[in-house]
Structures are given as structure tokens and as C-alpha cells.
Amino acid sequence: MVHENWRFRPWYRELKRWITEGALGDIVLARLAMISSGFLPDPAGRRPAFERQPFMAREERLMIAEVLIHHLDVMRFLCGSLRVAGARAARTLPEVRGETVATIFLETATGAPVVVTGTMAAPGYPPRAPDRLEIVGTRASAVLADSELSLLGPRPRRQPYDPDQGYQASFDGVIAHFVDGLETGAPFETDPADNLETLRLVEHAYWAAGLHDPGSRDGGPGSAAR
């Protein structure tokens, strides 16, 4: 089993239940964004993301392979099979090796557009901002914003979450799932074959963005984003 815990965050588990029960109908549009200032220096001159994980500053593949890989997995979990239709990425911080902003354009098996986008170099944003998700269906829409999950439509629902508790719950949930699989023999939700599908999207995103060679260094953000 691959430890892919992002999809085990309680708001994504609840949204998956809504989708499975048919509350949204068929998905016609989905967009997931994570925007923060974690790569930027705080008032004390420290970069919060690199304080927690110093290796990230030296990674050739950063925003897609290290950060948005989890969001790609979430969208696979929620929307089903996906393929990359295009991507753009750029290195905006000269002191950071990898790309710091990326947008990946995808589509579902039925052709519905899906967008995964993010940066951790956004001035004015908190260093650990929550995800923002919007899914439009034929029956209702779902929005995750400011740690609250809402169902919009004829039968609205609202479910607030504590972000710190939800963060811990994702680890608790994925480990409990692993232990349950060991004890019962049930298949793992994030087994290696499943995770290869997420890695496929990562690789295709780098090809679409023109950054498929992790050893190359383009002339700057302008030439890196194509």
C-alpha cells in the first residue's frame, strides 16, 4: 500500500459519499486549488515550507511532483479516471530549484473538464492555506472553502471542519485502512497499481508543461512555462 493520505482527509471522504450516493449527479466541471505563501520568507525571514521540509528547496520537481501530486490523487478519487489535456508550470523564485507554480488541465472519462492548480509562493496568503474545491454536477454543486464543505442545490448541506483535526485524521484514517487490510485481507484503496495512475498524471503534466527532463534548467520562468 502507498501512504497517500490526502484523500483520507475527512472532507474528501464525506464528499466522496455525496458523489457515490448521487447527490451531485454527473460531474460536469471540477476545480481544485491550493494557494499559499509557504515558499516565501515570513516577517522573521524564515520560509515555513522549507522549515518543515528543507529538502523541498533543492528538488528539481517541486510543485507538481511534491505538492500537487496529492491533489491529482484526490481528483482521481472523486472524479474517477483522468487524463492530462495540458499543463503550465513556472519557476518564479530563483533561490528555489523547482517549479513554484503549476496548473494542470485534465478531463474525466466522459470529457468533463478538471483543473488542478497551485502555488506556494503567493504573497499575502497564509503559509498553510486550506484547499479550495468546486465540483459542479447535473443535480447539485459542492464547494470546499475555508474548511467548510457545502452542498449547493435543492437539498443543501453544510459541514464545517477543524483543519488541524482533519490533518491528523488523514493520517489516522490511512493507517487504520492499512491495518484493516492486513487483518482482513481486503484490498488496499491506494495499492501500487492505483498509485501508478497518479504518477502517470504527474509525468504527463511535466511533459505537457515542457518540464519532462528533471535534469534540465530552462532559461527562466518564461521559458519553463510552455
Ordered DSSP codes for 128-150: TPPPEEEEEESS-EEEEETTEEE
pLDDT, position 218: 43
Give the residue, 165 or 216, on which the prediction is more confident: 165
- Taking alpha carbons only, the member of 180, 189, 172, 173 closest to residue 2 is 189
- Taking alpha carbons only, the member of 140, 137, 173, 131 closest to residue 158 is 140
Rounded Cα–Cα distance for residues 175 and 160 (Å) = 24
Reported as a single tens digit per residue, the pLDDT across 59-89 is: 999 999 999 999 999 999 999 999 999 999 9
Reported as a single tens digit per residue, the pLDDT across 191-225 is: 999 999 999 999 999 999 999 764 444 433 333 33
Reported as a single tens digit per residue, the pLDDT across 106-120 is: 999 999 999 999 999
pLDDT, position 212: 78
pLDDT, position 216: 45
- Taking alpha carbons only, the member of 33, 54, 51, 35 closest to residue 97 is 54
CA dihedral 125, 72, 211, 63 (to 10 degrees): 30
- Taking alpha carbons only, the member of 116, 19, 128 closest to residue 74 is 116
